[in-house]
Amino acid sequence: MQPSNQPLPSTLIVIPTYDERDALPGTLSRLRAAVPEAHVLVVDDSSPDGTGKWAESIAAQDPAVHVLHRAGKQGLGPAYLAGFAWGLERGYRLLGEMDADASHRPEQLPGLLEAVRRGADLAIGSRWIPGGAVHDWPVHRLLLSRGANLYVRLLMGLGVSDATAGFRVFRAELLERLVAEDIASQGYCFQVDMTRRARDLGAVITEVPIDFDERTEGASKMSSRIVREALVKVTLWGVSRRAQLLRKALR
């Protein structure tokens, strides 16, 4: 995609962290180099390994870096919602999200920002469209992600190939409407939840191909609880959507 040469509207990238002391420094410096005009908000859930303290020391030197501390580990969804509310209150017009573990390449963020500047309300960095790729993932993770996305697609018909992706940019107008809703999803399914709600609001959703790298530092926070939550919620959302469509057809 060709850059449009327009100045970037005020942009905030939200990075949720829990015990990412080893991974965050590399991600943050790559992000600041790749998109220097964007501000960054680290949302840390009182990481025992001192991630929040370290981020605070960077924020003290770099006015583009901010830190939001939360009382304890409360899940990805609530961390994102708190970060988005923080950014919307301060008037940022483009709000992005990415993982701390460099699975999302900061150098590919400009492509997502560009998609929103060109008209999308939500740009999703997608592993599962042509041009997208996953590097060095073990087979069980590949199967889990592909299987989850297939399940979401069959059940929910979102029209999105990578509904669980956590590399995204939202236009503030859309995000304002989304955070006003009652979103209780905690883990992976938070991403699916935001996608289905955006779709229901009539948002323009664009997928941009990305490379996804397996984390090389720190440990995954994925758990069987997170997978279970996603399975139950996606099934409920899918069944209730099908019932809605059926009721409409029978009317």
Ligand X SMILES: Nc1nc2c(ncn2[C@@H]2O[C@H](COP(=O)(O)OP(=O)(O)OP(=O)(O)O)[C@@H](O)[C@H]2O)c(=O)[nH]1
73 binds, among Mg ion, ligand X, none (CB under 5 to 8 A by kind): ligand X
* Part of the chain binding ligand X (CB under 6 A), chosen from 12-20, 32-40, 119-127, 146-154: 12-20
Owner of token pair 């530092």: 217
20 binds Mg ion (CB under 5 A): no
161 binds Mg ion (CB under 5 A): no
Q: What is the torsional sign of CA 194, 199, 205, 210?
A: positive
Closest CA to 149 of 173, 132, 136: 132
- What is the widest separation between alpha-carbon atoms in the chain? 62
Count residues binding ligand X (CB under 6 A). 20
- Residue 157-196 contact track with ligand X, rule CB under 6 A, x = bound: ----------------------------------------
- Please answer whether residues 109 and 37 qualify as being in contact, where contact means their C-beta atoms are separated by less than 8 angstroms: no
- Residue 103-122 contact track with ligand X, rule CB under 6 A, x = bound: x-------------------
Distance CA 90, CA 10 (A): 10
User: Inter-axis angle of helices 189-200 and 172-179, to 10 degrees?
Assistant: 110
Give me 188's structure tokens.
């992976």
- The one among 11, 17, 191, 195 contacting ligand X by CB under 6 A: 17
Minimum CB distance to ligand X, residue 86 (Å): 13
* Part of the chain binding ligand X (CB under 6 A), chosen from 99-107, 110-118, 123-131, 239-247: 99-107
203 binds, among ligand X, Mg ion, none (CB under 5 to 8 A by kind): none
Alpha-helix residue ranges (DSSP H) falling in the chain: 24-34, 51-61, 76-89, 109-117, 139-156, 172-179, 189-200, 224-250
Phi, psi of 169, deg, nearest 5: -130, 130
> Nearer to ligand X by C-beta: 67 or 172?
67
Minimum CB distance to ligand X, residue 90 (Å): 19
160 binds, among Mg ion, ligand X, none (CB under 5 to 8 A by kind): none
Distance CA 150, CA 165 (A): 13
- The one among 45, 99, 121, 229 contacting Mg ion by CB under 5 A: 99
- Please answer whether residues 190 and 166 qualify as being in contact, where contact means their C-beta atoms are separated by less than 8 angstroms: no
- The strand pair at 94-97 and 168-171 is best described as antiparallel
* Part of the chain binding ligand X (CB under 6 A), chosen from 41-49, 151-159, 175-183, 195-203: 41-49
Could you count the other beta carbons within 10 Å of the beta carbon of residue 22? 16
41 binds ligand X (CB under 6 A): no
> Nearer to ligand X by C-beta: 16 or 125?
16
Name the residues that contact ligand X, by CB under 6 A.
16-18, 20, 43-45, 73-76, 79, 99-101, 103, 215, 220-222
Interacting residue ranges for Mg ion, rule: CB under 5 A? 99, 101, 103
